[in-house]
């Protein structure tokens, strides 16, 4: 009787070793990518909040010129860290949420640090200049994480503002 020879036909699928090697490579790649992604997200948070704050500064200045009225930028709830709101007039008597003179409001991410070199409000005159500003005023926004660059908004007495990246 003739003997039958067995032919090894490879079965479809992966071996356990191939699966473990693939999982190891994926874990290494994720270990590299996740911290970079977190850095990107945190940096984007600082940039977007800085842009929002500069936008409300520019809005307050343009409304003062457009309306030919004094307009004030006031800290939200007494501090710049929470955000700011724009009102007609030179008074920031406290934000109630339904002020008829409120023109715009911007809230900032509470996880960010906001430091201004001036207390209280900014008042824009009808010519767009900042009332009583002899030099430059600055607002610095940072995340508190060492490797994330800060952003500084510089506001001149003329009312013009610019944003710059501040490296640690």
The model's pLDDT over 26-70, given as tens digits with 9 standing for 90+, comes to 999 888 877 778 888 888 999 999 999 999 999 999 999 999 999
Determine, yes or no, domain membership for 33.
Answer: yes
The answer to pTM > 0.95 is: no
pLDDT in tens, 142-165: 987 776 789 999 999 888 999 999
* Structural contact between residues 139 and 115, judged by C-beta atoms closer than 8 angstroms: yes
* Number of domains, the chain: 1
Residue 62's domain is classified under what CATH number? 3.55.40.10
What phi and psi, each to the nearest 5 degrees, are found at residue 103?
A: -100, -40
CA-atom Rg of the chain in angstroms: 28
72 to 15, 19, 96, 147, 151: CA distances (angstroms):
69, 63, 16, 34, 23
First vs last Cα of the chain: how many Å apart? 86
Cβ distance 162 to 154 under 8 Å? Answer: yes
Tell me whether residue 5 is in a domain. Answer: no
Tell whether 10 is covered by a domain: no
Instruction: Please give the residue range of the domain that contains residue 69.
Output: 16-166
């Amino acid at each position: 009787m003739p003997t039958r020879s067995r032919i090894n036909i490879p079965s479809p699928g992966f071996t356990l070793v191939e699966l473990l090697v693939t999982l190891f490579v994926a874990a290494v790649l994720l270990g590299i990518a996740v911290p970079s992604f977190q850095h990107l997200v945190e940096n984007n948070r600082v940039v977007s909040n800085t842009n929002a704050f500069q936008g409300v500064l520019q809005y307050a200045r343009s409304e003062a010129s457009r309306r030919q009225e004094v307009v004030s930028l006031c800290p939200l709830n007494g501090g710049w860290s929470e955000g700011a709101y724009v009102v007609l007039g030179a008074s920031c008597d406290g934000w109630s949420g339904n002020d008829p003179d409120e023109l715009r409001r911007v809230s900032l991410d509470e996880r960010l640090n906001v430091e201004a070199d001036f207390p209280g409000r900014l008042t824009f005159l009808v010519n767009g200049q900042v009332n009583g500003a002899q030099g430059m005023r600055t607002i610095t926004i940072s995340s508190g994480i060492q490797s994330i660059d800060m952003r500084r908004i510089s506001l001149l007495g003329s009312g013009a503002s610019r944003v710059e990246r501040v490296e640690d």
